[in-house]
């Protein structure tokens, strides 16, 4: 049989009844069909700190979590609210500096600085991004890219917030277990929270703004209002990551406005599967450790890193998660035409 005489047929597995949203669970087997992948993911993530060989790799886990929060925030904004954001660095920097200032200048403990910098940082980011929200297209991306550069230069030029030296002496987490499990819990909470959110009625409004903003206006709703809410949620995730980063490194500096925080989450989203929310997190858990492993290659690290990225994009451009979901929910067979 050559390719012209047969085609691949894809069939949904029998569990799905009537529509995508409604499942009819008839047996333990079907129940486990739905819960096992989620359990494997959650347990896998919670076990990670225990199986890491060294403290160095445990630290990598925490950093992965920060990138995971950023990737989640990017995926939510880009694929559920229609705003392509390059603001990872902006969110991290804002959250980080707020946490550092609150801790060193006001002596507030970690348990207070993290929630405050999450909310206050998100409010500041949203306020600063508000002027470009009524616009469509690339404007949002440009402005989010611009802010971290502006802030880094302002801090450098005016020598405020410690200038180029940064703010040192920020208090760390009580110990590395608290640090890692706090980070992992936040990632899981936000992941399942966001999955819930995008399927709520307000989540549908976000998706509608992405799909067709004119129709949302015709429905009597201000698109700017809902975009602002989406940006607040996304920047809260980024600022949380920034605050944690500062407490992990015990230091806050202008390198927190580095473009890495904007670009790596996007790469992770592409690799993991855009619009799946869990995909970008998996992408981070693949990309960031690879980048650490490649340190052995010294300056050639970026070359190999880029090659791996290109390979991923060429071979699995749809993303790991999209591919995985398809394989899991459907079976394929060759049929004669």
Interface positions with other proteins (CB under 8 A): 18-21, 200-202, 204-205, 207-208, 211-212, 214-223
Instruction: Check if the beta carbon of residue 70 is closer than 8 Å to that of residue 261.
Output: yes
Residue placing its CB nearer to other proteins in the complex, 88 or 203: 203
Query: Tokens representing 166?
Result: 């940064």
Q: How far is the CB of 221 from other proteins (least distance, A)?
A: 5
Alpha carbon distance 283, 76 (integer Å):
15
Residue placing its CB nearer to other proteins in the complex, 35 or 212: 212
Q: How far is the CB of 220 from other proteins (least distance, A)?
A: 4
- Smallest Cα–Cα separation from 116: which of 256, 229, 236? 236
Instruction: Check if the beta carbon of residue 240 is closer than 8 Å to that of residue 110.
Output: no
Residue placing its CB nearer to other proteins in the complex, 63 or 77: 77
Q: How far is the CB of 280 from other proteins (least distance, A)?
A: 19
Residue placing its CB nearer to other proteins in the complex, 69 or 83: 83
* DSSP E strands, 68-217: 167-168
Residue placing its CB nearer to other proteins in the complex, 200 or 300: 200
Alpha carbon distance 139, 294 (integer Å):
35
Residue placing its CB nearer to other proteins in the complex, 220 or 298: 220
Q: How far is the CB of 212 from other proteins (least distance, A)?
A: 5
Q: How far is the CB of 215 from other proteins (least distance, A)?
A: 4
Instruction: Check residue 23 and report its DSSP letter.
Output: B
What is the 3-state composition of the chain as percent helix, strand, coil, each rounded to the nearest 5? 75, 5, 20
- Smallest Cα–Cα separation from 193: which of 235, 233, 239, 242? 233
Q: How far is the CB of 227 from other proteins (least distance, A)?
A: 13
Query: Tokens representing 267?
Result: 């790469």
Alpha carbon distance 233, 226 (integer Å):
11
């Amino acid at each position: 049989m050559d390719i012209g005489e047969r085609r691949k047929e894809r069939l949904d597995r029998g569990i799905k009844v009537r529509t995508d949203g409604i499942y009819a669970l008839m047996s333990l087997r079907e129940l486990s069909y739905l819960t096992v992948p989620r359990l494997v993911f959650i347990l896998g993530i919670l076990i990670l700190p225990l199986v890491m060989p060294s403290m160095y790799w445990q630290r990598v886990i925490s950093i992965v979590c920060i990138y995971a929060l950023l990737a989640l925030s990017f995926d939510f904004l880009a694929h559920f609210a229609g705003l392509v954001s390059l603001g990872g660095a902006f969110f991290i920097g804002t959250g980080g500096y707020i946490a550092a200032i609150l801790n060193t200048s006001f002596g507030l403990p970690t348990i207070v600085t993290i929630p405050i910098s999450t909310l206050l940082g998100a409010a500041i980011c949203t306020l600063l991004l508000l002027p470009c929200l009524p616009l469509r297209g690339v404007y949002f991306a440009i402005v989010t890219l611009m802010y971290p550069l502006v802030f880094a230069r302002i801090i450098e030029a005016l020598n405020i917030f410690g200038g180029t030296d940064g703010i040192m002496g920020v208090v760390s987490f009580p110990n590395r277990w608290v640090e890692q499990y706090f980070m992992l819990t936040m990632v899981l909470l936000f992941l399942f929270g966001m999955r819930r959110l995008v399927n709520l009625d307000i989540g549908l409004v976000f998706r509608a703004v992405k799909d067709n903003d004119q129709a949302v206006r015709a429905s009597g709703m201000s698109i700017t209002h809902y975009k602002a809410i989406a940006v607040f949620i996304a920047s809260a995730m980024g600022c949380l990551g920034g605050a944690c980063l500062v407490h992990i490194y015990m230091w806050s500096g202008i390198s927190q406005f580095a473009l890495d925080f904007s670009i790596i989450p996007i790469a992770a989203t592409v690799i993991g599967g855009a619009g799946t929310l869990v995909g970008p997190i998996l992408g981070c858990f693949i990309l960031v450790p690879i980048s650490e492993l490649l340190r052995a290659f010294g300056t050639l690290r970026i070359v190999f890193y880029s090659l791996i990225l290109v390979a991923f994009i060429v071979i699995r451009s749809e993303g790991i998660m999209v591919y995985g979901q398809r394989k899991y929910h459907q079976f394929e067979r060759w049929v004669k035409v």
